[in-house]
Amino acid sequence: MFDNYPSIPYFGYKDENVKTPITFPAEHQDIQPGMEYKMNPLPIFEDPNYIPSGKLQNKTVIISGGDSGIGRAISILFAKEGADIVINYFNEHEDANYTKQLIENYGSRCVLIPGDLRNENLSKYIADTTMNLFGKIDILINNCGVQFPQNSILDISSSQLRDTFETNIFTFFHLTKAVLPHLKAHNSIINTTSITAFAGKKNLIDYSATKGAITVFTKSLALSLADQKIRVNAVAPGPIWTPLIPSSFNEEEIQIFGTETPLKRAGQPFELAPAYLYLASDESRYVTGQIIHVNGGTIV
């Protein structure tokens, strides 16, 4: 199924002196962070040829934004490797319930905890619920986020700025603080940052700033927790086909999404998930404070 790339066929070309391949049909969603079940085409969240080897057997994982997109791909892959999954999501119930069904089909347990992580009390509830149900927390993945493109910094309202920072970085602080007392040596924290933290993006100034904060948060926290043997790393995705994309950009931008990369296409969530698996497993026992870039070949 995945022998011939791109996974999604070209739909035509935009001719503006240079031919730009159109990789996705025009679409847009008017809600953040978007609904995966409404997307066309649907993101590819798992590799059917993948052979698990028990890398996360009996591990317990908390993941924010685990209902769809990158989070769904991580949740499914981790379940295949034997982990039980606790998913926090905002209000995308249809996506979350489908992800739960997929996880349970692989024999793992899954708990869904909806709610807005900007409420700091929710983080403590997630940690306490996980401990009550599973007795331990082995891996934390901070993965939730929003983005609201604007053509100029003058168009970014104080309300948008506050919302973006509270969702994208404050939630990482809240959930990490709530989970940390339960983590032990050799446990792992993994954060989702972005290529925009390194390359910037002119119409995502506030979003890129939060991703820069996440990157430095990752490195600083790794140093802080090194003596406790708790590893902290991050993954920096490039353009990945997730619900955040049609809920952020206009129809014309969607059509050529990802074509600016050296590989000339957007990535699929399943192509990103193995980076998180590596950082969560014992294979990365000597890795902390690092950022793995999965971006289609862009040098940062």
Report the C-alpha gap between 63 and 67 in whole angstroms: 9
Active-site residue, from 207, 276, 278, 286: 207
Element at 98 (helix H, strand E) = helix 93-105
Neighbours of 240 (CB within 10 A): 25
Residue ranges of E strands in the chain: 12-16, 18-22, 60-64, 84-89, 110-114, 139-142, 188-192, 231-237, 291-294
User: Domains of the chain, with CATH numbers?
Assistant: 57-294 (3.40.50.720)
Which tens digits make up the pLDDT trace of 213-243? 999 999 999 999 999 999 999 999 999 999 9
Which residue reads 């995945």 in tokens?
A: 2
User: Using an 8 Å Cβ cutoff, are 76 and 96 in contact?
Assistant: no
Residue 166 DSSP label: I
- Tell me the H-state helices in 166-294: 171-179, 196-199, 205-225, 251-255, 269-280
Secondary structure element (H or E) that encloses residue 124, with its range: helix 120-134
Is 207 known to be catalytic? yes
The pTM assigned to this predicted structure is 0.93
The DSSP result for 5-18, as a single string, is S-SSPP-EEEEESE
- Report the alpha-carbon angle 155-157-162, nearest 5: 135
Q: How far apart are CA 42 and CA 46, in angstroms?
A: 12
List the pLDDT tens digit at each of the 300 positions of the chain. Answer: 445 444 555 555 555 555 666 779 889 998 888 999 999 999 999 999 999 999 999 999 999 999 999 999 999 999 999 999 999 999 999 999 999 999 999 999 999 999 999 999 999 999 999 999 999 999 999 999 999 999 999 999 999 999 999 999 999 999 999 999 999 999 999 999 999 999 999 999 999 999 999 999 999 999 999 999 999 999 999 999 999 999 999 999 999 999 999 999 999 999 999 999 999 999 999 999 999 999 999 988
Compute CA 195 distance to the chain's CA centroid, rounded to the nearest angstrom.
13
119, two tokens: 């409420």
Least Cα distance to 191 among 165, 209, 216 occurs for 216
Rounded Cα–Cα distance for residues 289 and 261 (Å):
26
DSSP β-bridge partners for residue 231: 188
Sheet with 139-142: list strands edge to edge. 110-114, 84-89, 60-64, 139-142, 188-192, 231-237, 291-294
